[in-house]
Amino acid sequence: MKNRLPEYRKKHNLSQDKLAEMLDVTRQTIISIEKGKYNPSLPLAIRIARIFQTTVEDIFIIDE
């Protein structure tokens, strides 16, 4: 699954550390999601989308 998390994070001037803190996860989790090495759980994906006031589908793109 591809994602636009780095784009949204930078657009909102959030560091990986700050976003991790907001989501109560580690910075390593954010790094892994951004690199596509880890797909977040649905609840985590929803929390991420809410922070950026968008939909899960806008941030996470399923590879066809």
pLDDT grade for 62, boundaries at 50, 70 and 90 = confident
The domains located in the chain, with CATH, are: 2-61 (1.10.260.40)
Confidence of residue 63 (pLDDT cuts 50, 70, 90): confident
For the segment 13-48, what is each residue's pLDDT rounded down to a tens digit? 999 999 999 999 999 999 999 999 999 999 999 999
pTM for the whole structure: 0.92
**pLDDT surpasses 90 at 64:** no
Q: Which amino acid is at 3?
A: N
Q: Is the CB of residue 27 less than 8 Å from the CB of residue 33?
A: no
